[in-house]
Amino acid sequence: MKLNIIINGSGYSSQSGYSAFRFTQAALSAGHEITQVFFYQDGVSQANELNVPLSDEFNPVEEWASLADSHGVRLLVCISAAERRGVIGAEQQSEFGKSSHNLNSKFEIAGLGLMLDASLSSDRTVTFR
């Protein structure tokens, strides 16, 4: 089965990121295909390279990046939601004249059109709020 994952909740003020991560791991282990993981609304905070969780907490940036490496899962971050929340990539850094960027290199900036395309081409879209 082809699954499209959407995450709306913040990495630290909700359980959605951790739940989505565990669901994605289980789906991959069961042989399902993940078309993409799309981080939307407050979910974009999970791509912020500058997050520093406590040593015993779930680290969304590292865990998602590791999953992308090991399974080739695309991690997409909504451009509008990310810019509003201060999560920017190298292109946005240059475009907006900022001194640095904080988007982890395993995540890609994308528009809502890619989320819609994945929803249309997947068997199921699963959203975590």
In what helix (H) or strand (E) does residue 116 lie, and over which residues does it extend? helix 112-121
Cα dihedral sign for 88, 94, 96, 100? positive
The DSSP string of 90-104 is HHHHHHHT-S---B-
| Residue 90: active-site member | no
For residues 77 and 116, what is the distance between their CA atoms, to the nearest angstrom? 13
Q: Which of 7, 67, 78, 81 is catalytic?
A: 78
Active site residues: 78
